[in-house]
């Protein structure tokens, strides 16, 4: 019997053991399965550390981030694994022994994991910086939770204050930076959390004041309520928090005085009450706390002195009280007995000297005492304070020599000495400041020279040494400071030239060298820095201003340099810069005899080169005159050889016009010059008439050559004026005529854009008439490539379509309009003569007719002198072909140009036939128009004779002298 009972009992034990073993194996399989699902749901490269590919049972307790107690998982720490996904459900059932879950710095989707609410054993939950969004559920089921960190997430809805108050095991609550919560006020029920040590509710939309009942939570060691716009006063009851070590109430709207009761918190180490509206004095009791390490009270309205008791502190590391109204002196022993690290007292009204022992223990990194009333000198011990990162003492009354070591601090990024009374100089030892990025020492009395060693501080970004007494040249080695963004050296005594190496500073935005004694020329290479700020005013610079600076409108930045000039004339009333001498610029060299000898040799070589070039140019000019054309280079078409007179807003420059004066752009020749059709970079077409300015012999040769060519053709631009001679009077006459023509505004007058006046030729720039003249428009005529040269007939399959002929209604309208316009300008009324003058009426691209500008006076090149022809009454606007017609000179069909016409076409001084007889112009006719007053057109007085031409019509007599206002009455219709 006994044996039977023993057997049964043994059997039961074996069955129980087998069952327990089966349950253990099932539990192990469940934990491994959940960890495998977790790897699949939370994706990220870091999850490759968990290897489930082994055929043997997985030892997941050896996985990184997994903590086990025995064979059960008790903790999972995946902090900063950068995983993305959802937390699989059933975590509490699969991991029943889980106590710590740390998923900070990942991206948990789907809101707060609801499965965590069933984890009765969970003690620590950290989902900070996990991008969790949505509303929070009731957290009270997690009664075992001791630390809850949900900071820096995207929660919204109501703050779970009530449910948190029921979690009596909590010791740490951190909801920092969750601004999406609804506005709430902390309930007094939180006082039930007797074990709570850390309460961080900053930036959680909390409103109201600092609760006075917080003084009852005596277990608190860390209290932070910053960034909540709390109002009212700081309650004195906080003085009962005997265990408090950190008090953070910054970025609120608190007001009133700092309570003295805070001096009772003997364990207090960190106090931050900055960015509020606190006033009154800093309590001495607060500054006397034995463990005080950080005191930050900046941006308030505190007044009075900084308590001297701070100088006796053995723990103080950071003192930040800037932007207040503090007065008095800094504690003399500040930093003497502690590892002092930061001194920030800027923007107050402090007086007295700098604390001499601030760096006594060699830990000081920041000295920021800007904008105070400090006096005295910089303590010499500061130069040996090697850990300094920022040294800023600007806007005070400090004086004396700057210790050389201040410029050579090896770790300093900013050294700011501006707006004091410092003396001394920048030492060569500055090369040791390897981390220096900003050097500010403006408005002091520094002297000496800039050391070339400053270029060894390769990390410099800003240099401001303005308004000092620094002399000598600018080191050329500064061109190695490739990171330099600002170089301000104005208001010193620098001399010598501007180094061209500064053009290598491609990052430079501000270059101010004004108010010095710099000499020489402005380097052209510096224009590569434009459109950045350049200022060279108030120096002794000479030579031409670079054209790029003129184009950017920087003439004011070179004012006060009497030796500067401009290479071409500017139509600016606010510039006093003279025109540069064309023969080269005079440079004064003061030096020894070898310099003079070298200069003499250079001058001799230059003279020989110039003589050879002169001979070559004369030969080119002669060849060009024989050909009737010349290249811009041989005619002095450089930018600096022309004076510009503009009458309209120009969208082109001299380069574009001069470079286009080539043979393929020629559309006509005449006795006074050549006409070019030029397409601008903007796509606009202009006509350029190039007028010769040469001797009488050259004119005779050109006229003779033109006669051999036959009747010239051209493009009717200009007014038959063969401006000639190289004398001063002719230049004045040219300017007078051009100013008169440019001042005319009428819808039926060909627009004169500008005039370029040079030593060898003059250029008149007109608008281009693309549709020919009134003779050609109704007939569809097209001009050939040149006089007497018929255009080659292309093959049939390459021929362009025939020009569309204007039909009879439009033809009659154009003829009538042109006839009326010419009649208003004084054309005789004979029908045949009006028919012959239709070539002078140009055809605009909008089917409007236009005529050349009014000829107030006409200059014609004679054999020995320049004579002027006064047009007959009512001849305003007559073209050069009409002048020749009146003189009895007839041409052939070559005068009918397409769109524009030049004076050599029909008796314009170089065509076939007899040259017109002219009388010298007497008196002061046209003086009013010559002054540049606008001339408007109206019906003039008709000529007395309308029949056939009189026998003496070949001799053009001057009209009776009348004032210009009488000869040109007020127009009936004006257009601006």
Burial 283-306 (b: 16+ CB within 10 A, else e): bebbbebeebbbbbbbbbebeeeb
How many residues are there in the chain? 976
Task: Judge whether 655 and 756 are in contact, CB under 8 Å.
Answer: no
Task: Judge whether 699 and 692 are in contact, CB under 8 Å.
Answer: yes
* Of 278, 332, 287, 336, residue with least CA distance to 307: 287
Cβ neighbour number for residue 43 with a 10 Å cutoff? 12
Instruction: Please give the structure tokens belonging to residue 777.
Output: 């428009």
Q: Which residues contact 615 (CB under 8 A, 6 or more apart)?
A: none
Helix, strand and coil percent figures for the chain, each rounded to 5: 25, 20, 55
Residue with tokens 């509303």: 135
Cα 272 from Cα 222, distance rounded (Å): 12
* Three-state SS at 594: helix
- Whether a cis peptide bond, with omega within 30° of 0, leads into 531 is yes
Instruction: Please give the structure tokens belonging to residue 463.
Output: 């240099």
Which secondary-structure segment (H or E) carries 618? helix 593-627
Query: Radius of gyration (Cα) for the chain, nearest Å?
Result: 47
Torsion of CA 512, 514, 518, 523, to 10 degrees: 50
Which secondary-structure segment (H or E) carries 568? none
Task: Judge whether 405 and 381 are in contact, CB under 8 Å.
Answer: no
Instruction: Please give the structure tokens belonging to residue 97.
Output: 């022994």
Instruction: Please give the structure tokens belonging to residue 786.
Output: 């040149």
| ∠ CA 541-543-547, rounded to 5° | 105
Cβ neighbour number for residue 714 with a 10 Å cutoff? 35
Task: Judge whether 691 and 722 are in contact, CB under 8 Å.
Answer: yes
Torsion of CA 683, 689, 690, 696, to 10 degrees: 180
Torsion of CA 420, 425, 431, 432, to 10 degrees: -60
Q: Tell me whether residue 690 is annotated as binding.
A: yes
Could you please report the per-residue DSSP string of 19-84? HHHHHHHHHHHHHHHHHHHHHHHSB-GGGGGS----SSPP-GGGSTTEEEETTEEEEEE-TT---E
E-strand stretches of 710-831: 752-758, 761-767
* Three-state SS at 283: coil
Instruction: Please give the structure tokens belonging to residue 219.
Output: 């277990």
Burial 474-483 (b: 16+ CB within 10 A, else e): bbbbbbbbee
Residue with tokens 């003492």: 393
Sort strands 147-149 and 172-174 into parallel, antiparallel or unpaired: parallel
136: left (phi over 0), alpha (psi -120 to 50) or beta: beta
Task: Judge whether 106 and 100 are in contact, CB under 8 Å.
Answer: no
Task: Judge whether 565 and 577 are in contact, CB under 8 Å.
Answer: yes
Instruction: Please give the structure tokens belonging to residue 644.
Output: 């510009």
Instruction: Please give the structure tokens belonging to residue 566.
Output: 């401009």
Cα 177 from Cα 187, distance rounded (Å): 20
Cα 783 from Cα 776, distance rounded (Å): 9
Instruction: Please give the structure tokens belonging to residue 944.
Output: 């007395």
Q: Which residues are documented as binding site?
A: 690
Q: Which residues are documented as binding site for ATP?
A: 690
């Amino acid at each position: 019997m006994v044996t039977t009972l023993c057997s049964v009992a043994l059997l039961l034990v074996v069955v129980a053991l087998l069952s327990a073993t089966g349950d253990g194996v099932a539990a192990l399989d469940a934990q491994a399965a959940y960890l495998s699902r977790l790897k699949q749901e939370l994706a990220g490269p870091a999850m490759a550390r968990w290897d489930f590919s082994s055929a043997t049972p997985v030892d997941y307790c050896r996985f990184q981030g997994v903590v086990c107690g025995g064979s059960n998982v008790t903790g999972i720490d995946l902090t900063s694994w950068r995983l993305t996904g959802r937390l699989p459900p059933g975590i509490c059932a699969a991991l029943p022994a889980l106590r710590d879950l740390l998923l900070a710095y990942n991206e948990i989707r789907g809101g707060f994991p609801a499965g965590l609410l069933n984890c009765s054993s969970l003690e620590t939950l950290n989902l900070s910086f996990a991008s969790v969004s949505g509303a929070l559920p009731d957290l009270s089921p997690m009664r075992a939770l001791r630390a809850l960190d949900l900071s820096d997430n995207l929660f919204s809805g109501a703050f779970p204050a009530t449910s948190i108050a029921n979690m009596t095991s909590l010791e740490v609550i951190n909801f920092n930076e969750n601004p999406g919560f609804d506005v709430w006020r902390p309930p007094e029920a939180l006082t039930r959390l007797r074990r709570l040590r850390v309460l961080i509710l900053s930036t959680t939309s909390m409103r109201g004041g600092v609760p006075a009942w917080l003084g009852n939570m005596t277990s608190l060691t860390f209290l932070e309520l910053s960034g909540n716009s709390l109002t009212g006063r700081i309650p004195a009851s906080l003085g009962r928090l005997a265990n408090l070590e950190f008090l953070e109430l910054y970025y609120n709207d608190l007001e009133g005085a700092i309570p003295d009761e805070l001096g009772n918190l003997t364990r207090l180490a960190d106090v931050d009450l900055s960015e509020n509206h606190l006033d009154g004095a800093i309590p001495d009791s607060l500054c006397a706390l034995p463990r005080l390490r950080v005191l930050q009270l900046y941006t308030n309205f505190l007044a009075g002195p900084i308590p001297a008791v701070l100088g006796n502190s053995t723990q103080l590391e950071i003192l930040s009280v800037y932007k207040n109204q503090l007065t008095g002196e800094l504690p003399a022993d500040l930093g003497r007995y502690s590892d002092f690290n930061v001194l920030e007292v800027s923007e107050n009204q402090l007086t007295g000297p700098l604390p001499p022992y601030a760096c006594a223990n060699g830990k000081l990194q920041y000295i920021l005492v800007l904008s105070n009333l400090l006096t005295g000198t910089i303590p010499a011990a500061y130069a040996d304070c090697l850990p300094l990162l920022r040294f800023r003492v600007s806007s005070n009354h400090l004086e004396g020599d700057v210790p050389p070591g201040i410029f050579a601090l090896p770790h300093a990024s900013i050294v700011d000495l501006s707006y004091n009374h410092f003396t001394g100089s920048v030492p060569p030892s500055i090369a040791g400041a390897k981390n220096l990025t900003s050097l500010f020492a403006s408005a002091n009395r520094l002297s000496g020279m800039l050391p070339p060693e400053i270029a060894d501080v390769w990390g410099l970004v800003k240099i401001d040494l303005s308004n000092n007494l620094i002399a000598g040249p600018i080191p050329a080695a500064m061109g190695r400071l490739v990171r330099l963004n600002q170089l301000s050296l104005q208001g010193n005594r620098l001399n010598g030239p501007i180094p061209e190496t500064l053009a290598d500073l491609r990052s430079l935005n501000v270059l101010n060298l004004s108010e010095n004694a710099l000499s020489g020329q402005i380097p052209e290479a510096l224009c590569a820095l434009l459109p950045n700020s350049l200022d060279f005013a108030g120096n002794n610079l000479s030579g031409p201003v670079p054209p790029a600076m003129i184009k950017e409108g920087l003439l004011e930045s070179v004012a006060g340099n009497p030796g500067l000039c401009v290479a071409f004339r500017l139509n600016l009333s606010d510039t006093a810069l003279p025109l540069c001498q064309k023969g080269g610029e005079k440079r004064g060299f003061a030096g020894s005899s070898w310099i003079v000898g070298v200069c003499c040799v250079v001058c001799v070589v230059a003279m020989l080169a110039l003589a050879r070039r002169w001979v070559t140019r004369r030969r080119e000019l002669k060849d060009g005159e024989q050909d009737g054309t010349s290249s811009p280079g041989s005619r002095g078409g450089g930018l600096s050889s022309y004076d510009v007179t503009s009458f309209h807003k120009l969208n082109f420059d001299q380069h574009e016009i001069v470079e286009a004066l080539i043979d393929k752009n020629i559309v006509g020749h005449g006795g006074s010059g050549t006409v070019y059709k030029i397409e601008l970079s903007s796509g606009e077409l202009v006509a350029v008439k190039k007028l010769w300015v040469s001797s009488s012999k050259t004119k005779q040769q050109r006229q003779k050559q033109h006669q051999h060519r036959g009747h010239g053709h051209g493009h009717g631009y200009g007014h038959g004026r063969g401006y000639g001679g190289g004398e001063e009077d002719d230049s004045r006459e040219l300017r007078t005529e051009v100013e008169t023509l440019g001042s005319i505004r009428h819808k039926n007058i060909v627009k004169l854009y500008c005039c370029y006046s040079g030593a060898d030729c003059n250029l008149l720039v007109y608008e281009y008439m693309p549709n020919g003249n009134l003779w050609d428009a109704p007939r569809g005529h097209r001009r050939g490539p040149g006089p007497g040269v018929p255009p080659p007939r292309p093959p049939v399959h390459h021929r362009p379509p025939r020009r569309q002929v204007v039909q009879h209604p439009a033809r009659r309208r154009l003829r009538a309009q042109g006839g009326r316009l010419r009649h208003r300008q004084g054309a005789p009324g004979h029908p045949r003569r009006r028919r012959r003058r239709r070539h002078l009426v140009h055809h605009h691209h909008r089917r409007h007719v236009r005529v050349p500008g009014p000829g107030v006076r006409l200059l014609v090149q004679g054999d020995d002198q320049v004579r002027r022809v006064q047009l007959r009454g009512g001849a305003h606007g007559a073209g050069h072909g009409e002048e020749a017609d009146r003189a009895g000179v007839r041409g052939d069909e070559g005068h009918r140009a397409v769109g524009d016409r030049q004076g050599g076409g029909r008796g314009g001084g170089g065509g076939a036939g007899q040259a017109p007889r002219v009388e010298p112009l007497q008196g002061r006719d046209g003086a009013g128009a010559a002054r540049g007053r606008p001339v408007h057109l109206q019906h003039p007085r008709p000529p007395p004779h309308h029949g056939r031409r009189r026998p003496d019509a070949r001799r053009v007599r001057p009209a009776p002298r009348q004032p210009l206002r009488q000869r040109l009455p007020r127009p009936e219709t004006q257009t601006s």
